[in-house]
Amino acid sequence: MDNNKKQKAADTDIYKTTVNALALKQSRETFISELPQFINTCTMIAQLQKVYYDELIKAGFTEEHAIRTVIAHGTCPGRQMKESE
């Protein structure tokens, strides 16, 4: 009976190791396949934030106030207004 328990534990360990390895492989493949889209999204977000910052400067904000406003609002300039309503 003791050997049976040991075998079941060994089988369970092998199963868990295999499942974990497959999950890791799938996660890695998904990450690699989606990386170009993620980089593109980051580039677009950076450009949006730069435009927002530049427009705040044009509107008369100081550089410090403009950067603090961009940080506070993130990628959605109207977010603060919506959250306070």
User: For the chain, which residues make up each domain, given as ranges?
Assistant: 2-84
Q: Which helix (H) or strand (E) holds 85?
A: none
pLDDT in tens, 39-84: 999 999 999 999 999 999 999 999 999 999 999 988 777 665 555 5
pTM over 0.75: no
Angle, to 10 degrees, between the axis of helix 2-58 and the axis of helix 63-73?
Answer: 140
